Every structure is written in C-alpha cells, then in structure tokens.
Structure 1
Amino acid sequence: MLTSSLLVAIAAFASSAQAWLPSDASNAAVNKRSLGLFPAPGQEGTDKRWLPGSDKIRGVNLGSLFIFEPWISSSEWAATGCEGQNSEFDCVMNKGQDTADTNFQAHWRRFINETDLNEMISYNLNTIRIPLGYWLKESLVDSSEHFPKGGLDYLTEFVGWASDRGFYIILDLHGAPGAQQTKQPFTGQYADTVGFYNDYNYNRAIEWLEWIVDIVHTTDEYRNVGMIELVNEPLNWDNAVGTLRDTFYPNAYKAIRTIEDNLSVNSADRLHIQMMSSLWGSGNPVEHLDDTTFTAFDDHRYFKWDTSIEVSHDSYISTSCSDDRNSDGPSIVGEWSLAVPDDVESTDEWSPSTQQDFYSKWFAAQVHAYESSTLGWVFWSWTTDLGDDYRWSYKAAVEAGVIPTDLSTISSPC
C-alpha cells in the first residue's frame, strides 16, 4: 500500500495543471483530457503521454459496481438482498423499489471505494473503465422497468476520487435501453428478447449519452473522463446490427459533438468516442460516420470462449504472443481475463492453486501482445467473489502472486 505522504504527493500532482503531461513548455497549451493517450490537434507525432512514466493504458474494469453480474459476485449479490434473482431489474421488481434502493446504495459504497483506488495506484494501474446502465438517468426509466435509484451521486463522488488520483477514466454504456443481448445480466436485465435495436431505444440511449457528456464537461469531479463508449457488446454476426452502424452510431456521434459545440468545448478537450471494433463481429463501426475525429475502438479478448484456439498451455501462450488486436484505428483491449473453458477450468492442469507459474506467464504474454498492438488494456475485473479463483480478479491475482505489484517487472515469455 502507498504511504500517506506518497498519496498526498500523487493527489497534488494529479490536480495540477500539468497533471496529464510532464512539465514541458512545448505542450503547455494541450488540454489535460485530450492528450490522455492520443496526440492532440497540432501535436501529431508527439511522444508525450497523459501519465509520465507510462505510454500505455493499464487498467481494470469496475465490474459489478453499477451493473451486477451475479455469477461473478455472488456473495455481494446476496448481501445486496438479491440472492436468487437473475438481474438488477428482477431484484428491484421483486424486492420493491425502496428496499432495493437502500440495499444498492449500501453496495456501491461497500464494494469499490477509495481504498480500492489507492490499492490500484500501488499496483501501477493508471486507468479505470466504469460500466454503467441507462437507468442512471432515472427519467429514462419507464413504468414497466425496474432499476435501483441514486447511482449518480456515488458515481460523481467516485470519479472525483479517481480524478484526484490521476486515473484516466472510461465511461461505458454497458446496459442499453431494451437490452442489447438476451439473458445477459450485464445489460441490467435478463431479457428473453433483445429490445435495443429500434429507433425508440436508440433515441433513449442517445439521450443518456447527451446527458452524461454534459455532466462530464460541466462537473469538476469528471475532469479525468477522457472516453465514452457508445454501447458495450452489441449483437455480433446478426442482421440487427445493420441499424446499429447506419443509424445509432452516426446519430450518437453527432449528438455528443453537438453537446460539446453547445458548451463551447475546445477541440483539444473533446471526448474520445469509443465503439466495439470490427473484431467483435458487428461490422465496421465507422462505416457510416461522416467524421471520425477522436474515435477509438474496444476489443474484448476472452480465450475462454474462443473455440478456434487449441486448449493447452503452450498454445495459449504462443497465440497470445502473436495476437494483433488492432483492426480499425486507436484500439484498447477493454476486456480480457485469465479464464479458461468451462470443461477444463477445474482440472489439475488448469487449477489456479497449482498452476500459478503458467497463469503468470500467460498474463505477461497477453500484456506483451496488447501493449505491442494497441494502446493498452483494461482487465476484467478488479474484484470478484470467486474465492481462490483469481482468473477473473486483478486484485486476487496480485494477492496470489500471479500478477506482480510492479508491472515494470514483467518479463515477457514471447
């Protein structure tokens, strides 16, 4: 853990005018948000980065904070009063709004807080990705929908703490109106059918994006938010995503830029707008965009569900070593883990308790690949309730000695 004096120094540095860059007069006019990890207008080719000492995103997802996945955080799900429920929608509907609101507000403050941010700093992490649901804007929720209320207050407080510590922050519309996938709790509901891919819910999602972008640019706590993702993991290899590309993405992009125009946000301080990359399987995300300024792309790389890869230690490491995840432009591997297929995860050969050496090497191989071919990575997730199985938890993997506390000590097996 960091000493109190070091934390004070970090906080002072992060709140200074030059917090995102080394002190360098040639970059004095570059705004803190824009040069997070991308060259700002007029700065093409610069080797300056937003965080001195690191030129790559190295971060964690805050899974199950504002959107629960019960299977990965089961004891916390039970502590929130939702045991036996499939999703947040189901829990609120069946437990009652007032009871659910009280329980979820306690969960938010208990599950991930300032203590966790301090621990992330001590592990040399520089980025957090925060999955959010559209119900954070409570006026968007209609009478047939049931979600916890009050999340914006804690989000604002939390991103303020993260900004004070100098984190780069990505906000992700993880749960879209109507649900972008069926029977996936990460959408906030366990829907039998997808309901996102129509004008009504596209418009609700755009209203949410306009609202959160306005908050980002007008609320000091959000000063280190540099990127917003339009929607997490839409359908792939499905005809429904045609309208995602030709309607939702262009309209959402224009809506965000219009909000920034109306607020007179200067060009160097505009948010990067992120979409799932072509590797996700939803087509070319910028196919119908007239303007691609400050766009970025999200890749999710889970070997657990990739049946094209031979399931062996050597295959996983060799595949990772040569894994080029850059397809459309500035890309981030925004989700990945050390999880392996269900049919082998409990075998001796893949046991997390006896195979720490393999998992350490595989972690290093993935880091090598993602930092070689993209702007960096965001591990899924920071913390889980899976006991000694650290394969989904960065925090637990560090505690198990699989991930080093100092990322600069990683030795690539490639």
Structure 2
Amino acid sequence: MPILFSFYLSWVLFCSLASPNSVNLPLKAPSLGNWLVTEGWMEPNMFYGIKNNDLLDGTQGQLISTKLKKYLTAENGSETILMANHNSSSASSWQTFRLWRINETFYNFRLSNKQFIGLENQGNKLVAVSATEKFPEPFQITRKNGEPHRVRFRASNGYFLQAKSEMQVTADYKGPSTWEENDPSVFNMTIVSTMHGEYQITNGYGPDKAAKFMRDHWKSYITEEDFKFMSQNGLNAVRIPVGWWIAYDPKPPKPFVGGSLQALDNAFRWAQKYGMKVIVDLHALRVSQNGSPHSGSRDGFQEWSDSDIQETVAIIDFLASRYADHPSLVAIELMNEPKAPDLKLDSLKRYYKAGYDTVRKYSSSAYVILSNRLGGEWSELLSFASNLSRVVIDVHFYNLFWDNFNKMSVQQNIDYIYRQRSSDLRNVTTPDGPLSFVGEWCCEWEAEGASKRDYQRFAEAQLDVYGRATFGWAYWAYKCHLNHWSLRWMIENNYIKL
C-alpha cells in the first residue's frame, strides 16, 4: 500500500476519514462479470488544522543536545539509562524515538524495543521502562518560537530534561531558558519519518474536533453520485476498507469516532441502487498487521499475533452478520496485507480458518478473500485455500516501493508487467483451486519523462495482465489528490479505457 494518507472507517474508511476509496475494476469470476473496487486516501490538507501536525502519533525523531552536540540514546534495552553520547545519527539505532501523542503538547516516547522512556523510581534519572510495568511517562514539549526544531522537555516532576554529561541525562533543570547553544536543557529535534492515518488524524484533532471533521468528510468525500459515475463507466463492484473499530460504532474506542458504520450502510444502499457489488475489506486490525498507517497503527509497530485472533474474528462476525443477506455483498476480505515474516504463516492460517468459518455461519454464497502476506511466497496459501469453498487469494501489484523500479525506463516498466507480473499472477491462479484477485494496483510509477501515451500504455498492460485474474482486480484508489492514483481522474482524462 502506498504510504500516503489513508483512513478507515468503513468507507475505507480507512479511508475513513479516509480519503481513500478503492476501486475494483473488472472482476471476471464465474457468474460475476466485471468488477471494480475502490478505496480511498487521506489528503495532506486534512492535517493542516492540527496544532503541531508534524508531531503526530508515530512520528520518529532524534534529539541532539545543543550543548554537547551528541545524540540522545538508550543503548541496552530494559531499564537502561538515557545517555547523550552518540556523534552521528542512525535511524535504526536506539537513538530514534517514536511519539505517542497525548495532546498537542504532551507526549510519551517509545523506543525501538517497544519500551517507553520514564523516570527511574519517580526520581530524576531517565530510563527505558516497560509499559506493562509502569504507565508511560508524559513529557511536555516546548518549541522555540520561529525555530520549531529547537525544543525542551518538561517531565511529570515539573523539571526540564538536561544533558549534564554524555553519561547523565536527568529531569532536574529548574531555571528558565534563553535557548542558547550552551543551555543543557535545549535539544535540536530531527524528524526522521511521520505517519498519516486515521489514528493520527483523530487523535491529532482530539475527540470533539475529530468527530465533526470525520462526519463532514464522510458526507462529502464519496457520495451517491460517485456510485452513479462508477456504474456508468463499467465498474461493477467497490472494495471498501474498514477498520476494526467499526464493530463498536457509534462509540468506538478512542481516539476513533463514530460514523463509519453509517457510511458503510450508505455505500451498500447506493451500490444496490446502481447495480454494483461490495467487497468489505478488513483493512485495519487492532495493534496492526503490518505497521503501516493504513492499518490503523499508532506508531508503526506490527504487533498483531495469535492472541488477537479471537477479537479479530469477532469483527468479522459483526460484518458478516450485518451484511450477509444484503443483495450487494459479494465478498468479505479477512485481512489486508499481513506482513511477513513477523506475522507468521501458521498464525495467519489459524485466523483465516476461523474467519472463514465465521462468514460461513451467515452465508454460503459470499466469497471469502485471503490476502497474501507482503514478503511471503506467492503460493503459500494455495494448498490451505484449496480445502475451502468460494475462496479468493488477493495479491497487490505496484511498480513502486522498490528502488529498482526507479531505474527502469518506460518500456522496461511495461515489459515488467508482461513478464514478471504475469508470472506472479500465474503462481496464484490454478485451474481447480481458489480464485485469484489483484486487489490493488495503480497507474503511478517512477518512470522519468513519461508522456500521457506512456501512462496509457502502462494502464493497458496492467489491464491486459491483471484481467487474467479469475476473480478480477481492484484499482487503488477511486479518488485521490494525486492524479495517477485516482481512477476517476484517469477515466475522466482518457488515461484508462475500461
């Protein structure tokens, strides 16, 4: 999935605030005809109204003492003290901290081993502590006017952090600051990466503002007119990503807000009116199946495991029981883009079997879609799925997110579709086994100087190859502020002909 702005909510809702909406294009499955699936994205301007919108949940940053000119680091894991002794930055080291936003000025700091920074024995020495042993320590961030990268941190004891020496970082600085270089309580903060998902936007705005913001978004982003447009342009289905919190609507756990279920109900109603089908895609799982913003992750860690199977199956039970008898339901996707190797194949199969059985409690005709693991073997689910009925294997193809694509010419990208993608699709397409589904693709790439005709040829190649999938394909996304990610824009400007 593109690392862009996406939301859940049942309208994608991962697209939930989603600006995302995914579209499945021609699906060619027995008696199904052509499909189109749509998902959505969150656009950058959705975050503009959040104060300190560069310090949202999951932001990864590094801190250097202005006095010592050394980076803060926690080198040895549990209960280790914080030091200021590194000369250079390294995004993979102990000196990168992930933010948990409490409000616009207060934050928790999480380390690469998933522990938090806290005060040792409620004193003034900073250490890495387990969140299960102690509630994360809140730190207030103060930024210098006109120089937001220059910061100070106030701990819960009321004092500011200071780097006394390379081996001693404490929370006991009492005096005011002049923000000068030799002030031990002043740090320069470098932001390494940020996250923009539904968690970030709802927690960023806070419960009151987020609720109104999301309601306004759901009312305007995808409307009945969009379903009319899709139907008139040969699209016959929509893939709608949802987040786990939809099962708790209208009062989902914070920071998520209610309204996604109504948005999904509207989509089903409009789909039925315009003769379209709906694929409900569980796109975001609690504690995340891949660490991406579109998975509902708070800080980029992938933590879904066997202990989360029961809760996730309950979400599938909610969706299946609610929509199984709706004439527009064609399939339920049990999980989007689980990521290997951290999410083990055996765990995934256990969940898929339980989820499949849950769907079958309510429907014998709805297809059950199983997403291949990112980074897994193409055929790793085939033997498992062959023992189940009306099952689909979902794979996602993008000529992006890999440096080698950036080095390819226009023709090399097109040749890659015909050569490599054809082979990849054949690996999940069998005569008597589960159906195959290219559940996400788009017409964006990194080919320099590509003309409109080049984009058309790139789209034609993908339509040709992905049209061989036995269940069809889905384009990501139906609407997006980035033109070639937007299927609607591509259709309206004659880049794609369906």
TM-score normalised to structure 1 length: 0.70
How much does 1:297 deviate?
Answer: 1.1
Alignment correspondent of 1:67: none
What is the match of residue 185 of structure 1? Answer: 293
Q: Which residue does the alignment assign to 2:369? A: 274
Alpha-carbon distance in 2 for matches of 1:214, 1:376: 25
- 1:252-331 maps to which residues of 2 (within 5 A)? 252-257=355-360, 259-260=361-362, 265=363, 267=364, 270-277=365-372, 281=376, 284-285=380-381, 287-288=383-384, 291-307=387-403, 311-322=408-419, 323-324=421-422, 325-328=425-428, 329-331=434-436
Q: Is the 8 A contact 1:179 1:191 kept in 2?
A: no
Change (3 A) 1:162 1:385: same
Q: 1:372 to 1:243 in 2, by over 3 A?
A: closer
Contact 2:282 2:335 in 1 (8 A): yes
Deviation per residue, 1:13-67 (Å, 9 max, x gap): xxxxxxxxxxxxxxxxxxxxxxx9644xxxxxxxxx33xxxx333x132213xxx
Matched residues in 1 for 2:414 and 2:39: separation?
A: 26
Q: SS of the residue aligned with 2:40? A: coil
Q: Which residue of 1 aligns with 2:319?
A: 212
Relative distance call for 1:307 and 1:101 in structure 2 (3 A) is: same
Compute the displacement of 1:106 (Å). 1.1
CA displacement at 1:239 relative to structure 2: 4.6
In 2: Cα distance, 1:149 partner to 1:251 partner: 27
Quick check: 1:333–1:378 contact (8 Å CA) kept in 2?
yes
Q: Distance in 2 between matches of 1:164 and 1:234?
A: 33
In the alignment, is residue 61 of structure 1 matched against residue 154 of structure 2?
no
* 1:244 equivalent in structure 2: 347
Structure 2 CA distance for aligned equivalents of residues 174 and 378 of structure 1: 14
CA distance in 1, matches of 2:452, 2:279: 30
Which of structures 1 and 2 has the larger relative contact order (alpha carbons within 8 angstroms, sep 6+)?
2
Aligned-residue CA RMSD (Å): 2.8
| Residue 83 to residue 373, structure 1, CA distance change in 2 (3 Å) | same
- Matches of 1:174 and 1:360, distance apart in 2: 29
CA offset digits 1:153-185 (Å, max 9, x no partner): 121022111111111211100001111122x21
Question: Does 2:201 align with 1:128?
Answer: no
Distance 1:289 1:129 in 2: 21
The residue number in structure 1 matching 2:9 is: none
Find 2:204's aligned residue among 58, 74, 94. 94
The one-letter code of the counterpart of 2:472 is: G
Q: Structure 2: how far apart are the matches of 1:142 and 1:126?
A: 31
Asked whether the equivalents of residues 28 and 470 of structure 2 are also in contact (C-alpha less than 8 Å), the reply is no
Partners in 2 of 1:288 and 1:315 — Cα distance? 35
1:80, 1:56 → 2: CA distance?
Answer: 41
Letter in 2 for 1:255: T
The equivalences for 1:226-237 within 5 A come to 226-236=330-340
AA of the residue aligned to 2:444: A
Question: How many angstroms does 1:92 deviate by?
Answer: 2.2
Residue in 1 that maps onto 2:260: 151
Q: Tell me, yes or no, if structure 1 residue 108 matches structure 2 residue 218.
A: yes
Q: Distance in 2 between matches of 1:95 and 1:279?
A: 32
In structure 1, stretches of 5+ residues that fail to align are 1-35, 40-48, 65-69, 408-414
Partners of 1:215 and 1:155 lie apart in 2 by 11
TM-score normalised by the chain length of structure 2? 0.59
How big is the shift at 1:326?
Answer: 3.7
Q: For residues 51 and 323 of structure 2, what CA distance do their matches in structure 1 show? A: 32
> For residues 246 and 384 of structure 1, do their structure 2 counterparts lie closer, same or farther at Cα, with a shift above 3 Å needed?
closer
- Find the residue that maps to 2:474 and give its secondary structure: strand
State the partner residue of 1:171: 280
Measured after TM superposition, the shift of residue 149 of structure 1 is 1.2
Matches of 1:82 and 1:403, distance apart in 2? 40
More strand by share: 2
Which structure: greater helix fraction? 1
Partner of 1:29: none
Question: Judging changes above 3 Å, is the alpha-carbon distance between structure 1 residues 128 and 361 closer, same or farther for their aligned structure 2 residues?
Answer: same
The residue type paired with residue 371 of structure 2 is M
Percent identical among aligned pairs is 22
2:328 match: 224
Q: Is the 8 A contact 2:437 2:469 kept in 1?
A: no
Paired residues of 1:233 and 1:276 also in contact (CA < 8 A): yes
Query: How far did residue 308 of structure 1 move?
Result: 5.6
Q: Which has the larger radius of gyration?
A: 2
CA distance in 2, matches of 1:56, 1:205: 30
- Conserved 8 A contact 1:80-1:103: no
Pairwise CA distance, 1:248: 1.1
> Following TM superposition, by how much is the alpha carbon of 1:112 offset from its aligned partner in structure 2, in angstroms?
0.8
Pairs aligned (count): 322
State how far apart, in whole Å, the 1-side matches of 2:485 and 2:52 are. Answer: 21
* CA distance 1:245–1:187, change in 2 (3 Å): closer
C-alpha displacement of 1:291: 3.6
Query: Structure 1 stretches (4+) deviating beyond 6 angstroms?
Result: 79-82, 139-142
Unpaired stretches in structure 2, ≥5 consecutive residues: 1-26, 57-195, 429-433
Residue type of the partner of 1:249? Y
Q: SS where residue 311 of structure 1 aligns?
A: coil
